[in-house]
Amino acid sequence: MNETDEVGVAKDKRSIEIVLDPGSGIPYYRQIILQIEMAVADGRLKPGSQLPTVRGLAVDLQVNPNTIARAYNELEIRGLVSTQHGTGTFISDKEIALSDTDREQILSQLVRGFVSQAASYGFTVQDLIEFLSAYHEEGEV
């Protein structure tokens, strides 16, 4: 396994780090599923990439291990991962593609939440655009 293939390890910009949003209204297990699906669809997670253990990811995300187990079980039912007892959970070779509409819907939901939260702190959309532009120029994303 390549170090950059593990979820949560940010050794390069294409690795995946799962982040949960308690204010989104989406259950945590669904957020985990969506983020893993997106990472598989855009190539950040490749077939054979190992996911963290249920316990390890639960500790990292500070959630109940049953939440992680539920997400992994649903991913396994969908054929996106396979679990090998004693070795771990791995991304399968099943292709997944998100339509432009799906990607746009996910991005829209993220942006709405972000803009709404920023507005509650008094930031304008222009403030956000300027900050994001500077952030991007610094090579952060």
Taking only the tens place, the pLDDT of each residue in 85-104 is: 889 999 999 877 778 888 88
Say what the pTM is.
0.71
Apex 62 CA angle, 82 and 84, nearest 5: 15
Per-residue confidence band for 9, with pLDDT thresholds at 50, 70 and 90: very low
pLDDT in tens, 15-54: 589 999 888 888 999 999 999 999 998 889 999 999 999 9
Burial track 118-131 (b if 16+ CB lie within 10 A, e otherwise): eeeeeeeeeeeeee
Domain ranges of the chain: 3-91, 100-137
Residue 125 has pLDDT above 80, yes or no: yes
Query: By percentage, how much of the chain surpasses pLDDT 90?
Result: 54
Residue 75 has pLDDT above 70, yes or no: yes
What pLDDT was estimated at residue 136?
Answer: 86
Rg (CA), the chain: 16
CATH number for the domain formed by residue range(s) 3-91: 1.10.10.10
What pLDDT was estimated at residue 141?
Answer: 60
Q: Helix and strand tally (H, E) in the chain?
A: 5, 3
